[in-house]
Amino acid sequence: AKMDVGGTKIVGAHVGSQFRTSAIVSAILSLLGVICYLAFRFEFKYGLAAVIAVIHDAICACGLYVIFGGRINPSVIAALMTIVGYSLNDTIVIFDRIREMKELSPDMKFADLVNAAVNATLSRTLLTTLTTVLVVATIMLFSGGDIQNFATVMFMGLFIGTYSTIFIASAFI
């Protein structure tokens, strides 16, 4: 039987270097955009807190993936950027609640305000994460190749992102 090669996945050093540079520049520009957007929508400290939390998410998820033997490739970078977006969305929900509660209770201590906002959004955050984890775990278990790499990084990142939304972003502001 004759075998026919449908395609190959070899990336040269020059292309790999360009990919790495493009990924780093894209990540930096997007994080600066997030800071500007949140500074405009809320205050500068909110933007800085959100960016610190999502950098934490990306570094931890990537680090865990590499520690367990994974290799960084475009699907892993896509998963990391998806984690950043997912975590950022959760963080903005909490920041919105802080702003709403601040207007309703202007004499409440800020630490109590943040705590109340986190508690008010906690069930929504946990249920959304649980639902997403079920889907990502299914993909992780029943797929292969790049899709499995993407799902594995997402699986770790969902837990890390939920943790950082609750304990890092809100605590930092």
**80 within 8 A of 154, measured Cβ to Cβ:** no
Burial class from Cβ neighbours inside 10 Å (0-12, 13-18, 19+) for residue 81 reads middle
3-state secondary structure of 73: coil
Rounded to the nearest integer, the mean pLDDT of the chain is: 86
pTM of this structure: 0.80
Most trustworthy range by pLDDT among 10-14, 40-44, 160-164: 160-164
- 8 confidence band (pLDDT: 50, 70, 90): low
The answer to whether 150 touches 67, Cβ cutoff 8 Å, is: no
Q: What angle do CA 160, 84, 118 make, to 5 degrees?
A: 60
The share of the chain scoring above pLDDT 90, in percent, equals 44
- Quote the pLDDT of residue 155: 96
How far is it, in rounded angstroms, from Cα 122 to Cα 109?
A: 20
Residue 116: how many other CB atoms lie within 10 Å: 15
pLDDT digits (tens, 9 = 90+) for 43-60: 888 888 888 898 899 999
Over residues 62-83, the mean pLDDT reads 90
